Amino acid sequence: MLSYIFGGGQAKKDEPKKAIIQHRQHLDMLAKKEKDIEQKISVQEGLARKYVNTNKTSARAALKRKKMLEQELERLQNQIATLESQSNAIESANLNYETLKVMQSGAKAMKSIHGNMNIDKVDATMDEIREQVSLSEEIGDAISRPLGETFDEEDLEEELEAMQQEELDSRMLNAGRVPSAKLPETAHAEVESEEEDEEEELRKLQREMAA
């Protein structure tokens, strides 16, 4: 069906474009004609107004010409409306035609792409990718393992806990000691003064008793 639509050579393919161009050109010509008739109608109406009170014969003739021009204008406007409607239909049909060609080209491209593919091949490829990813992870784990001696993690943890306990005990012992405080110089001087006073009183008592 599609081949029938698109068949017929280059000439048939260009027909829609030519028809659109012709419609546009003719519509431009009709638009100019429409404008010309409107100007003539305006002139005849002006003449009718000019002679309406002075020369009724001329005024009547101008009105007749105005009516004939208005009928011609109406026919012309109907033609313009018909051509515009047809031009829009042709442009829409041509757009659908071009869209269909693009879709057909896309369908052919997808068919060509999928020609060498099927679900079994896709599944096999995905399995191979997963296998290679798993192998890569295993290789990475093997490379990252340390060489030489390995240590027991439990022994290391016990040693660490023992060191922490020793540090805690040491802090508690240091916190229990009361530092010896030195007497200030003034207190020492007062003690010496009191001792000297006591010695003086003793000597005084000894002199009194000797007398």
Q: For 7-66, what is each residue's pLDDT tens digit? A: 456 667 778 788 888 989 999 999 999 999 999 999 999 999 998 889 989 999 999 999
Given a cut of 50, whether residue 181 has pLDDT beyond it is no
| Structural domains of the chain ordered from first start | 13-107 (1.10.287.1060)
pLDDT of residue 1: 44
Residues 103-127 have pLDDT tens digits of 999 888 888 887 777 788 888 888 8
Give me the residue label for tokens 């010695």.
199
Rounded to the nearest 10°, the torsion over CA 57, 62, 67, 69 is: 150
For residue 143, what are its two tokens? 């490379």
The answer to whether residue 204 scores a pLDDT higher than 50 is yes
Nearest-10 Cα torsion for 76, 81, 83, 88? 160
Query: For the chain, what percent of residues have pLDDT higher than 70?
Result: 75
